Structure 1
């Protein structure tokens, strides 16, 4: 499990260390640095997949534009208040009390920032950072797939790598290929389900968002595409099948989030941006319960959210002993001049927070005060 991420001169941060837990919740105002944390980890993963994190010379470095993130050039990612004494960009992660650090040379126009130093031995990195660099990694951006008539079929992504795609574009094909896989974690299965399959578990959690819904994924013969359909009810009361374009936007938008959590394995690392988008408040609370269930199955989740329903769902899960308070980290981001700062209230076993800084999910109280004035 990742225990900490260190960021120097990268995007919103001049220098910042952020503690990570099995379930880490990132929140705050827009453009305050939340996405920077997720993008930092995705950038390391992207650069590792390209084979660029081992060589300290012009052939290695941070690959700014790739399949996970597209960050532009050096001038787009270096923090604006850097000092001449420390102009370089550094990312570091800690696991097992060992810190692994990569420092890169700033290049204004380049989209490959050359490594100045890196961990000396790649073998410990591959072993101890398996959640970041190995199988089971998922990163789902806020800009995810929407309703469509078909979705891409990629054996490499969905079958060989079990990757849903940064936009969730391989989710439908992943479900088609893995729908009969057994879900072993009891926290992710329907308690009275006749089957322990991925499809059954996916339906179970999707029904928390939309009661009665069920999913079907099939090949489109003669093409490299697959089709998704929704049905409602079962047995004699079952509806016709509906294509996603004729069903509410939120279901398809949330589907990659649900599948990422349901399919999580021990040691998985799942990065989620705004999973609550387009969902009713009740569904947002259930997404928090789903993420807690994935953590109980052994995954690590880092989630960026603007939803107080997600936060409160997490707090209720702690109070109801679904997850220990010690397994939760909550970070509130806010701008302070040219840089961002992080406030990290602790959570007690009853779901209460030690601090409630200004701007931290206090809009309801502010609005209520104005209404009652």
Structure 2
């Protein structure tokens, strides 16, 4: 389980050491740095996923786009470096990035400091050395020798980030393949495909409704009915096209309708439910504004849903800017 995230000279933070719990709720004033914490994790995930041998931190990619070095390095410090660290029960890893120009779109990783149980002695890797290679952001020699390093690399690959900018109702939704995309996507754009492709996956027990088949699609539908009484959905592939459709109804007696013709909140909640129900043991899920487009009762129900995720099963980061009722 992750226990801490550390930031150094990253965006609004000169220094931050934030303890983490099985469910971590970030709340506060606008521009206080809540999204920054989530973005730090997402940068690591994006870099590990889009280039397995990357030695530069990708500021711009399919998950997140933060601009140039000048946009992410703490302006007040005037420095040319920043650091991101994650700690778990059995390991600690800190990446230090250095730039020669603040116009760079990807920042070279200069140094990695690795510690693990039982000795917790630091192993410092100079990534700029021609002899050093990284695999999924972990020094290759450490990755080969350490089970904890392998778990970290796997965690970064499996991390799910759902932004506040979710796509909402669409006529059709895009598809992909499991080896390219194993989650609902940063905007929820792959949610319908995810539900269709992993329909028979069995969610972790702590989130399952009793008397409902223990499959991803049926459990997601049961939770949608919990949030929106009477709600059912239908996912169908479009013939001879790399697309799927999502149809919804809010009463068992009604026909299915296009998402545009039902409540806007339904398509904003479905990615969150799908991501959590599709999580595996040890997965990390980052969610911005899970309460978005929900009425007060729905906001409270979202808190109940997220709290039900078994602590050893998935890690939930919750950015929340509204009142919980």
Normalised by the length of structure 1, the TM-score is 0.75
Q: CA 1:130–1:267 in 2, change beyond 3 Å: closer, same or farther?
A: farther
Contact kept in structure 1, 2:82 and 2:96, CA below 8 Å: yes
Specify which of 239, 248, 252 is matched with residue 263 of structure 2: 248
**Deviates most, 121-130 or 91-100:** 121-130
Q: CA RMSD in A?
A: 1.9
Aligned to 1:316: none
Task: Please identify which structure carries the higher helix content.
Answer: 1
Match of 1:215 in 2: 233
| 1:268 has 2:283 as partner | yes
1:169 pairs, out of 182, 189, 196, with: 189
TM-score (norm 2): 0.85
Q: Greater share of strand residues, 1 or 2?
A: 2
Alignment size in residue pairs: 295
Verify: 1:189 aligned to 2:208, yes or no: yes
2:7 touches 2:17 (CA, 8 Å); kept in 1? yes
Distance 1:305 1:91 in 2: 22
Aligned partner of residue 211 in structure 1, secondary structure: coil
121, 124, 127: which one pairs with 2:150?
Answer: 127
5 Å-filtered alignment, 1:101-140, equals 101-106=94-99, 107-119=101-113, 120=125, 121-122=139-140, 123=143, 124=146, 126-130=149-153, 132-135=155-158, 137-140=159-162
Q: Does 1:231 align with 2:226?
A: no
The Cα shift of 1:189 comes to 1.6
Equivalent residue, structure 2, for 1:146: 168
Shift in Å at residue 178 of structure 1? 1.5
Question: Quick one: distance in 1 between partners of 2:204 and 2:9?
Answer: 42
The answer on 1:2 being equivalent to 2:24 is no
Instruction: String of CA shifts for 1:183-216, please: whole Å, max 9, x gaps.
Output: 341x2122222x1111111111112221010111
Separation of aligned partners in 2, 1:297 and 1:131: 16
Distance 1:42 1:152 in 2: 22
Q: Extract unaligned runs of 5+ from structure 1.
A: 313-373
Q: Is the 8 A contact 1:140 1:165 kept in 2?
A: yes
Q: Is the 8 A contact 2:204 2:313 kept in 1?
A: no
Q: Residues 74 and 108 of structure 1 are in contact (CA less than 8 Å); yes or no, is this contact kept in structure 2? A: yes
